[in-house]
Structure 1
């Protein structure tokens, strides 16, 4: 049964959310059960404090436990202060008012936190990926889920560079998964390219994720949120495939901006929720499909001083390059984790590489105006401009000149159908 309410123009109220949650949870036999809620970290806009309060109001007196697992993927663990901001409640208040609640960080990098739940064979991966990859994929997930009777996934659905639209079972893979399937799905998305994936509902990566989720032998309820900016416009509750599908359709209406002509230059300003380039690069992914060949995206984020707090060393070693730079030198790069290669190609964008001449030709220029030093930007094969020389106000209102300013970049997708058709694979 799918429970939902949505509007493209009017936000949902707190009473709307409470009523939908009550209807969605009512059929579940949760009395005395242990329930684990899987939620995003702070790099996703979502009304997690509201859901935290309302879920406890509805389930706190019914269940034995109502714990939370933060779907970090490979993002760094959240501090206690960051968790307090995420759920809107201090640790002391949680202990006093929410005695059946604990909150855990996912740890993709700790083997003792993970368990193998199945394997997708190479014949099946070849079928799921339209022949792009044919590998045995171990499906490794956080073992904590097996301490619980019921799982609830709660998170937003936005256009996404790896999977097409985020949300749903993506909170399992990569959200609480191990490195193997994270690397496989991200490299698969890179082979398709971000520009040809983002904002597409049926993708090879989504098929793999749904196949992997079938190995999870626990009942799963999805609370799929759809936002425009910070405003909640839709909530769908039900089966993780059905609720996600409805949310993706609404997200396509709310979070995709279609432009008639591509822009020559874009000043894309990542939202403050991103604190390194690994996450802030969404400012590039979400605008690349609206940038003309030979154009430029400047990622303007003076507050960012690090490429990746988790993977910076590996990215420094390989730099940022187009997909074919790696494919045509595969023996040189096959040892690099697929997630690292994928991030590299996603940031650099589409382009070509001539192995004979060693010439790499990206479709567009990507330039950083951040706190990352110029020497490091050049070393990893990205452009640099001193952020102190840029006044974002000077970029505003110049769309007719082919110049676009995108504040709070990272969740709204800009797309030019004519450009997309010209580069259709």
Structure 2
């Protein structure tokens, strides 16, 4: 037997597996991260992809909107890279009064003043205010066109009225859009609620009873209607420039891309693929995965990122064991409703289609996974709240393994995923 430790909440938990049964530990690919964060940021800004530099694009006297991510993505260290973007604009001759920061909250809540300071960092927070996008504020939304998927695109008017829109953010694998960053700063970032929900509803197949669209998944943009719709919407807005970072497992800005919001983003996606796309030769009988502890496992809503990746490494009908403390429970009432209030997937799908929300889709996705796999949470969440979706809750990994052994036999091949929210297993 071999003993392993994995992150859970703010602590570590130990468990044992027969050494012969371990297929691999799925973790990030080794890359050279010897450059400092400053070097990475300046190198990207000075060598844009598909466009000129900011100094070649922006002229003194023009109004600039910088779209930044919201507090749920503070891990991307905006306060580290935004000062370099602002310094560049200042060197061009752009005055502070002509720079507008808008937080791309999408359908998320507004921020506190303290959270604004966290986003900008102390230096910039003393110079600028942050405007939180409000997807419900029709007075500050403007219609810019309709996509080929029938999505009416209503955009933040303050942003659209600026001479230039600069998109900032981070690129990671994304459960719906394939990759985060890029066009997501526009849709859902600064669009209306109607636009966001119309787009995200494309995550389901067109016909009731067919469930999730298999093309809408992490790391995939081929025939992914949700991604294609987002891209069309962003093209209508015509962003002038993009700056996106890529983080490593240690939380360092390891790489960055800048320039054209499509070309530069595609280059960044390739870096993420090289870093976090992990090749596997076979699928396992059981996968044990952790998001990486607090705050990534603070609730079930956040835990879905780990589940999405873990299911790519396990055989159909196999067992997925997720370590997720869920100290704040479901994290969203819509997630809880879809999981707790229905007995069948058809009922859940009907409820989702009738009043689509991202949180409801996450509840649906988790429930769908529990149909196709044995889904076990090592968690503090109340097991009775998820039992209607056939999700099992235990206190230890050994308890979870005992369930898997009883159902599938004891000679089970296993993968471990200590960075489950980031690493995407890909069968080759």
TM-score (norm 1): 0.76
Q: How does 1:3-402 map to 2 (within 5 A)?
A: 8-13=31-36, 14-23=38-47, 24-44=53-73, 45-60=75-90, 62-64=93-95, 65-87=98-120, 89-90=121-122, 93-94=123-124, 96=126, 99=127, 101-120=128-147, 124-125=148-149, 136-191=150-205, 193=213, 197-202=217-222, 203-216=224-237, 219-229=239-249, 230-271=251-292, 272-274=294-296, 275-309=298-332, 311-312=334-335, 314-315=337-338, 330=350, 334-337=353-356, 339-349=358-368, 362-379=371-388, 381-386=390-395, 402=413
Q: Is the 8 A contact 1:348 1:366 kept in 2?
A: no
Shift of the 257–287 alpha-carbon distance from structure 1 to 2, 3 Å rule, reads: same
Q: Is the 8 A contact 1:151 1:219 kept in 2?
A: yes
Shift of the 164–333 alpha-carbon distance from structure 1 to 2, 3 Å rule, reads: closer
Shift of the 410–380 alpha-carbon distance from structure 1 to 2, 3 Å rule, reads: same
Shift of the 297–211 alpha-carbon distance from structure 1 to 2, 3 Å rule, reads: same
| Paired residue secondary structure (1:279) | helix
The C-alpha deviation readout for 1:370-406, integer Å capped at 9, x for no partner, is 33222212245532223697799xxxxxxx9533332
Alpha-carbon shift at residue 284 of structure 1 (Å): 0.5
**Equivalents in 2 of 1:267, 1:408: separation in Å?**
11
- Provide the residue aligned with 2:26 in structure 1: none
- Provide the residue aligned with 1:355 in structure 2: none
| Bigger relative CO (Cα 8 Å, ≥ 6 apart) | 2
**Equivalents in 2 of 1:69, 1:310: separation in Å?**
27
The C-alpha deviation readout for 1:42-83, integer Å capped at 9, x for no partner, is 444423122122122222463233332222323333333333
TM-score (norm 2): 0.75
**Equivalents in 2 of 1:320, 1:307: separation in Å?**
18
**Equivalents in 1 of 2:413, 2:63: separation in Å?**
55
Alpha-carbon shift at residue 168 of structure 1 (Å): 0.8
Taking only aligned residues, the RMSD between alpha carbons, in angstroms, comes to: 3.2
Shift of the 367–68 alpha-carbon distance from structure 1 to 2, 3 Å rule, reads: farther
Q: Is the 8 A contact 1:164 1:199 kept in 2?
A: yes
Q: Is the 8 A contact 2:179 2:218 kept in 1?
A: yes
**Equivalents in 2 of 1:117, 1:313: separation in Å?**
35
Q: Is the 8 A contact 1:184 1:338 kept in 2?
A: no
**Equivalents in 1 of 2:259, 2:278: separation in Å?**
28
**Equivalents in 2 of 1:195, 1:296: separation in Å?**
23
Q: 1:415 aligns with which of 413, 418, 426?
A: 426
Q: Is the 8 A contact 1:188 1:205 kept in 2?
A: yes
**Structure 1 unmatched ranges of 5 or more:** 1-6, 126-135, 351-360, 393-399, 418-425
Q: How many residues of Structure 1 are paired with residues of Structure 2 in the alignment?
A: 370
Shift of the 380–258 alpha-carbon distance from structure 1 to 2, 3 Å rule, reads: same
Q: Is the 8 A contact 2:285 2:314 kept in 1?
A: yes
Name the stretch that deviates more: 282-291 or 176-185: 176-185
| Paired residue secondary structure (1:302) | coil
**Structure 2 unmatched ranges of 5 or more:** 1-29, 48-52, 206-211, 402-410
Q: Is the 8 A contact 2:342 2:348 kept in 1?
A: no
**Equivalents in 1 of 2:197, 2:285: separation in Å?**
33
